[in-house]
Structure 1
Amino acid sequence: MESLLLPHEPTSPVPKTPYVCEERYDGLPFLTYPVRQGRTATGKAWFDLMDYLRAERMRPTPLPELESFVQTWLLFGLIFEFLDLNKHEEGLGESVRAVEQLSLNKSACDDIVSTLYERIVVYEDDKSYVRIDEDALQYIMDTARLRFPGPEDARKARFEHLHQCLIMAHPVLSILPKEFNHSVRFSIAALADLLTETVNFRIIELKINLQPLGRYWSRGFYSEEIKSSMRASGWCPSDIARAETTFTSLQILHMLRFMDKMLPKRDHSSCTDVVCKLYQINMAPGSYVVGHHESDCSCELLVIDSSILTKILYRGDSFPLLRFSGDVSNLSAEIVESTADTPYIAVSHVWADGLGNPEANALHRCKIQHVEDLIKSIDASDPSAVQPYLWLDTLCCPAEDGRGKEKAIEKLRLVYKNARHVLVLDSSLTSYNSSQLHAPEILARIFTSGWVRRLWTLQEGALNKSLYFQFADKAVSLESLRIEMDSHQLYNTNIRYRCFRKDVINQYARLHLFFNNAEYQHLGTPLAVLEQVLQYRGVSVATDEPLCIATLLSLDLPTILAVKKKTDRMQKLWELIDTMSNGLPAQLIFSEEIKINADGWRWAPASFLAYQDAIKTPQGRPVRWLGEQQRGKITPRGFQVTYPGYRIKVGAYSDGKPSYPWPDLAQIPEAYMDFRDSTTGAWYRAGDMGYAKIQRKWETDDERIEYNKLKLFPLHDLARSNEAVIVTRKPLDSSPSNPHPVVEGIFATIQPSSDPGTIAVKTKYYLLLTPLHEEGYIYDVVERVALELRASPLTDEHLRIWEAGNEDEIKESKKAVREAMKVLMKKVIDVDERFRAAVLMHFGNEFLEDIWIKIQDWFRDDINGAPLPNDQVWVVD
């Protein structure tokens, strides 16, 4: 994978990619290579992708054979197709060529193929490897420029064809088994990533009527082995998870894989894939350690008078600024009131690095002296620059709660917006020299620093375009780095940097978009973008979250600060977002995350930052702000929405027998709940997302068995209350185009409501619902058999014996009931082919012998849903 970018000092050697091909590529069209290799259905003259994927699932190709086939086809075949070296039988290239267009003869094509094999396949110590290094990649690109047709129509046809080749290659590469050689797979993915960027660039340039290919070739690149090596190199698990979520290009992910993060020394052993515990600061009195610049320093704190700060903050748009004189031994501070012309530099920092103080406006003198020297050095090369003042939150925002602190928070937007520069101080950056790094690595370090993980720093960096990041040797301008990445040399002549650049530009855009909406509207609605940029960010004081978000969304911050009970500020934030957006997306009621625990607010997520183990991954959450147009209404009772729904009832029997007529016969543990539409007879399955999360963690069958011993039936227990409803995001009806839809839903209890025509509900479980087709027929048949057995004298006798309590008689009676169940089901299986086929399809041959269990299970699943009116309004508390 030598075509991928590396940091200045890689933490380990790049693994070599073995050459596993059993033969050279045959030089014929790329799309039909699998047909020539016998990997398609009999009689088909074209490659059927679905047929191939299905066959690989059912009858996997032996691993050595599969690795050889995939490398031959998707690496060498793709290169030769890209260079238009693969021939039809008549010897012409596949692309549309004008008569006057240069066409190489077979001998010349063979020469290029031989040269490519000589450059790419290398031999070391009696072993052969694939090595597409920078020189080989440059040769491929230079040859491509010579080989591509000149006329625009021919070029368009060529890129359309390559677009189709990449579409074909992606799913084949995506479903490779876990055991497939990692280097072989991702050397192909790295090449495809580069070719995709080239094709997408030309699609846009030539205005080809195609959507640029949105396939990501990097999925799965960070194997457990790679993650382990990154953790050993100082990476936090949550930073690795964030990189996987945030970046799509293999160029940047590969660089990060080999990037050292050992400085400063930190212990991430207690961190998780979601949270870096080291950045969660304990703000309790006496807990925060105010740092020195050097560990052996013993200088005293310099304290700023907070009463002076507060007086300045109450004057119009002014805020306090500082200038220092003297050295560490006699340092003094000058406090000035800002004006429109006062030059100052605002510092944005990570509190975990010791530059904060939650108890007083005070820092050690050595720290202040160091910061003062840093801000002076930014404009040192400009002789006309006036020495700037300093703004630092620890010294300029009153530390104690009160109106002074609230005023300072209100003015944060002004502070960062009007600063000459914003200087970022983060020990994960100040530990490394920038002069040793090229622009991509500097940017990679910035966008994986601790600074990008904090919530307050998002607005601090977003408000000012002159953003500097301090490294060990100097401060580096983010804007200068962006310009360098856009330069002709990096962007136009080196395709690797072009792939890298798209991730960097996306990060740059997300940083600035809240205050430049017109420029970045293509990234989605403000809330969708907010959800994306807040992923993996954190805040030490939970009640600060609504303040930061209000600033980012340009909401009325004083209105939130006016809510004196800080824990209620998130509710006020939702009200302001509701006003800004003309209502909130109604589908919020289906989101799994932790809700606000207050009457009327239990529908509202308590945080944009808090991630719990859920079916939907954090990166999947932003889509809830897109697509569906229905809006909900905040009411004093809850959140008012209109959705389809079912009133849930359990089957009732008037024969005097218990609902379940065979006590002591164990039922199948609950994995889901099935219910029937009482008007249409259609069956549906409701799967509990909570159970799915538990199930996902099981690694052995013993874990499943132990869980089943708990005999938990939460969905069925709620159904038996006869005070429950299922609310679904969409109607559950299937269609020919979507025969097995998966629909989100909630299972809720009905609450008292004084509003006519509405039902108030409280969510208990989050569901995924699907229609049952042939499986529904199984239930209809089982129902008839179950009711027949229920009415039989055998059941009456079993109830009598069970009530008498003789254990030996109960044992024999249970045996007799089971035998009767088996006999009845065998009769059905022998005469009902549809029933037999449905059981085989959905449960398998093994269960066919045990289908009698469904009879005893029936009375648990005899659940009916009565559809409620389409205009029914739900008030969700």
Structure 2
Amino acid sequence: MADHLFLPDNPPKPLRIEYSGPQYDGGDWDTFPARCGWIDESGTENFPQGGAVPLEYQSMMECWLYFGMLHYVYGDQLDQSDFLCEDEEGCQYITTKHLQRYVDDVDDWENNKRGARSVEIVNKVLENLPRYISWIRAKMSFAIRLASLTLWNIVIKRDGPQVEPRCSGLWFLMPEEATQMVREGWCPLDAQKCIAAGIQLDTRRVCCNWFVPKPAGTTEHMSSGGGIPLVMITPSGGDGNQNYELKIVKKRTGKPYVAISHIWADGLGNPKGNSLPHCQLEFLYKRARLLLQDKEYIPYCDDNTYGSLHTGVARFAHFAVNTARRGDNSVLVWIDTLCIPHQSDVRSLAIQRIRDVYSNASRTLVLDSGLMVLNSSSSSKLAVCLRVLYYSGWIPQLWTLQEGLAARTKLYILLSDKAINIGTIPDVLLNKVDKGEIPIFQDGIATMAAGAWYSYFQHPTDYASVFDRFVLLGINQGQVISRTWFSVATRASSKDRDRPTVLAGLLNLDLRNILEDMLFLDGPRFQEDGLRWAMKVCRFTGIFSQLVHDSGKITPRGLQVTLYSSLIFPSCKMFNLVKSNQSDLEQRQKDLERWADEPELDPDRLATGTKVLQLETIIPVNLSSNETYGVILMSFQLDTITMCALVSLQATENGVQYARYISPGFIYAITLNMSELPEEGYLMRGTWDDAQKREWIVC
């Protein structure tokens, strides 16, 4: 799927959507359902509502919405076999490998009004898809949404802005879809990128780790007497017997050094001591020396107004430093393996200074075995950027996030032939997009690659700056905190206690300012009175929930919550679906009618369906009778699934609700019908109209 994109040729986790249905008959799109017999002349389906759909109808629906959409645009020019492929075992799959050929002919696009037809059919498909989405396969629904979005993007590129379809929200992944992706082996960070960017984020990767045996050999033990310790590597000997002398020195002004950012799985780590084998030292020396002294890496600025001045100053400083060091062939390097002592007290202090290490470095060099297979001469800047974002082992690590943020535009990635500045590539990509220098199918992915890079390595840095936070416009505080929280929570780390440290360091922010949104996140919590709302760790637990706002206040009695709308229900208004499903059908009917025997619901309407709210908690709970519960809503959009926090109301004093935290969860409106009674959660008599702003103190 999405084979029209140029990278990667062989993704480690390809999206394969099997298709064994019919080919489109070439007739009118609107009347296809009637021709196939699943809709009668009045427009009614010829099968029971809520019942199983015959398989032949399901395959026809998929054909109509996918191949019918393509036929609507390209007519008889469409060869449907171009969009199907077979594997070695003869299974047939959807492919878009040849889609490029159909859209390359600009004259055909204009002369045959392909753009107008694309707009028409995309609107039709998106309006009909909600009606059929429960009857077709989930992966085929994904393919239909992806194909419609691809056509829409081509229209925007070729014909200019259009009125967005009413159902354009279907182009975004739902949290439950992302959760399923994780179950199938996807990295949760990448699944979240798809949620944030839409399903047009077609590059795929899967979390992986390389195992490399720990290197043998020892070097002098490293320790620090304060400040930022650097290791000075000086070659000694010669004639094929090259050795290296190591010395720990303090960072000094005017002495450039290279900071190394790496993952230990690649072999540059050593858990037993501050040492590296000879071959690794030689490798570090040669790469760092080249990065500091070679003319290719002289800084430059391409700003139209002051670019030449800045470049001139940078070049002068570069040559001045190298002239002063003439005859000195040593190189200064910072790498955690050598520069962070293993003693726990000193190690803790050194870790707190890591941000300064990378922000003060002249260059930061990323070493990742998965990136060293690329060659700079045969890989475009977009390909390199995508490889770093979605296929490297470096990007998912917790500490490398902080290192990349601190390095900013001084971040270099080592490829097979040389190091290139990855920190400047996003700006280059956006400039190419603005100038129309990116191929049509790569245009959107280039924009999103740059956006993903900025969201990781630019926006948090701007937000951490006091000046940028309060002076510059366009920094959305809630979004920056939300993305950074999730980015920290989903990255790999052997120590969960490091996550809050990294989060606070990235944003230069007191963590107490974002505690209010912890109500909606899943994870282990404290059990002490007054702290049951508080999470113990910032870690991804399988639920795609994010922080949204950035305020909160800790009081002696618990967490003060003021931002959100909420619902209040006595237990008598809540119907336990799990318990009722354990009863026989007749007893369940009686229980439901007894529960509905209030002004809010009419028991006579249960047979035909009526609107109620359904609550599902992430932590299984058995609610007590004769208690009152509160549901604090994270967002408030009618008829949508909304994240929430379930609390038990303890008291109300001066308009403030005091409550005990129970569990995060989801709440949504459903049409209740006895023949389709849900199996889990609680039903609540009431509607969205009952939600209102209240002040809570949650303990």
- TM-score, normalised relative to structure 2: 0.69
- Distance change >3 Å, CA 595–CA 473, structure 1 → 2: same
2:153 counterpart residue number: 197
**SS, match of residue 371 in structure 2:** helix
**SS, match of residue 609 in structure 1:** coil
Report the CA distance between 1:382 and its aligned residue. Answer: 1.0
1:396 counterpart residue number: 339
1:636 counterpart residue number: 556
C-alpha distance in 2 between matches for 1:20 and 1:678: 48
2:284 counterpart residue number: 371
- Distance change >3 Å, CA 484–CA 601, structure 1 → 2: same
C-alpha distance in 2 between matches for 1:240 and 1:869: 36
Q: Select the residue among 515, 524, 530 that pairs with 1:600.
A: 530
Q: 1:627-655 deviations in whole A, cap 9, x for unaligned?
A: xx9x642013321336767585789xxxx
C-alpha distance in 1 between matches for 2:656 and 2:385: 54
C-alpha distance in 2 between matches for 1:252 and 1:178: 21
**SS, match of residue 394 in structure 1:** helix
Report the CA distance between 1:319 and its aligned residue. Answer: 5.4
C-alpha distance in 2 between matches for 1:467 and 1:596: 39
C-alpha distance in 2 between matches for 1:665 and 1:177: 31
**SS, match of residue 525 in structure 1:** helix
1:460 counterpart residue number: 403
2:137 counterpart residue number: 178
Q: 1:514-544 deviations in whole A, cap 9, x for unaligned?
A: 1134587369533212234235213222222
Report the CA distance between 1:761 and its aligned residue. Answer: 3.9
Counterpart contact for 1:674–1:686, Cα < 8 Å: no
Counterpart contact for 1:19–1:129, Cα < 8 Å: no
Q: Select the residue among 232, 251, 270 that pairs with 1:322.
A: 232
Amino acid at match of 2:698: V
- Distance change >3 Å, CA 192–CA 676, structure 1 → 2: closer
1:514 counterpart residue number: 460
Aligned residues: 618
C-alpha distance in 2 between matches for 1:441 and 1:474: 16
Report the CA distance between 1:488 and its aligned residue. Answer: 4.7
C-alpha distance in 1 between matches for 2:96 and 2:6: 14
Q: 1:299-324 deviations in whole A, cap 9, x for unaligned?
A: 323322x2xx233x1xxxx6545343
C-alpha distance in 1 between matches for 2:394 and 2:584: 60
Q: Map 1:386-785 to 2 at 5 A.
A: 386=322, 389-402=332-345, 404-430=346-372, 437-448=379-390, 449-464=392-407, 465-479=409-423, 481-482=425-426, 485-486=429-430, 488=432, 492=437, 494-511=439-456, 512-517=458-463, 521=475, 524-555=478-509, 573-575=510-512, 577=513, 584-585=515-516, 588-611=518-541, 617-618=543-544, 621-622=545-546, 624-626=547-549, 632-641=552-561, 687=615, 689-690=617-618, 715-716=622-623, 718-719=624-625, 724-729=627-632, 744-748=644-648, 750=650, 760-766=658-664
C-alpha distance in 2 between matches for 1:589 and 1:446: 34
How big is the alpha-carbon RMSD for the aligned residues of Structure 1 and Structure 2?
A: 5.6
- TM-score, normalised relative to structure 1: 0.57
C-alpha distance in 2 between matches for 1:550 and 1:337: 27
**SS, match of residue 630 in structure 2:** strand
Which is worse superposed, 447-456 or 476-485? Answer: 476-485
**SS, match of residue 290 in structure 2:** helix
C-alpha distance in 2 between matches for 1:31 and 1:460: 55
Q: 1:658-678 deviations in whole A, cap 9, x for unaligned?
A: xxxxxx999989xx9999799
**SS, match of residue 430 in structure 1:** coil
Q: Map 1:91-106 to 2 at 5 A.
A: none
Q: Does 1:42 align with 2:37?
A: no
C-alpha distance in 1 between matches for 2:486 and 2:410: 23
**SS, match of residue 622 in structure 2:** helix
1:144 counterpart residue number: 109
Q: Select the residue among 267, 270, 275 that pairs with 1:362.
A: 275
Report the CA distance between 1:122 and its aligned residue. Answer: 9.8
Which is worse superposed, 675-684 or 468-477? Answer: 675-684
Report the CA distance between 1:412 and its aligned residue. Answer: 2.6
C-alpha distance in 2 between matches for 1:340 and 1:131: 55
- Distance change >3 Å, CA 53–CA 608, structure 1 → 2: farther
**SS, match of residue 729 in structure 1:** strand
Amino acid at match of 1:715: N
Report the CA distance between 1:457 and its aligned residue. Answer: 0.9
Q: Does 1:331 align with 2:244?
A: yes
Counterpart contact for 2:71–2:78, Cα < 8 Å: no
Counterpart contact for 1:251–1:500, Cα < 8 Å: yes
Report the CA distance between 1:74 and its aligned residue. Answer: 1.7
Counterpart contact for 2:210–2:266, Cα < 8 Å: no
C-alpha distance in 2 between matches for 1:871 and 1:129: 48
C-alpha distance in 2 between matches for 1:439 and 1:521: 27
C-alpha distance in 2 between matches for 1:12 and 1:690: 28
Amino acid at match of 2:277: H
- Distance change >3 Å, CA 175–CA 324, structure 1 → 2: farther
Q: Does 1:168 align with 2:113?
A: no
Report the CA distance between 1:497 and its aligned residue. Answer: 1.0
**SS, match of residue 728 in structure 1:** strand
C-alpha distance in 2 between matches for 1:589 and 1:529: 17
1:245 counterpart residue number: 192
Counterpart contact for 1:159–1:199, Cα < 8 Å: yes
Report the CA distance between 1:603 and its aligned residue. Answer: 0.9
Q: 1:42-68 deviations in whole A, cap 9, x for unaligned?
A: 346xxx9xx899969664453454454
- Distance change >3 Å, CA 640–CA 209, structure 1 → 2: closer
**SS, match of residue 523 in structure 2:** coil
C-alpha distance in 2 between matches for 1:14 and 1:332: 51
- Distance change >3 Å, CA 677–CA 771, structure 1 → 2: farther
C-alpha distance in 1 between matches for 2:619 and 2:539: 24
Q: Does 1:75 align with 2:12?
A: no
Q: 1:424-446 deviations in whole A, cap 9, x for unaligned?
A: 12233335656554544433331
Q: 1:130-189 deviations in whole A, cap 9, x for unaligned?
A: 87626623445442144559xxxxx9x888646634633754785563398x6xx77755
Identity among equivalent pairs (%): 19
- Distance change >3 Å, CA 161–CA 607, structure 1 → 2: same
Counterpart contact for 2:209–2:393, Cα < 8 Å: no
Counterpart contact for 1:596–1:602, Cα < 8 Å: yes
Q: Does 1:301 align with 2:216?
A: no
Q: Does 1:216 align with 2:202?
A: no
**SS, match of residue 71 in structure 2:** helix
C-alpha distance in 2 between matches for 1:165 and 1:236: 32
> Gapped runs of 5+ residues in structure 2?
297-317, 323-328, 464-471, 574-582, 603-611, 678-682
Report the CA distance between 1:416 and its aligned residue. Answer: 1.6
**SS, match of residue 556 in structure 2:** coil
Counterpart contact for 1:343–1:389, Cα < 8 Å: yes
- Distance change >3 Å, CA 437–CA 169, structure 1 → 2: farther
C-alpha distance in 2 between matches for 1:12 and 1:768: 30
C-alpha distance in 1 between matches for 2:376 and 2:443: 21
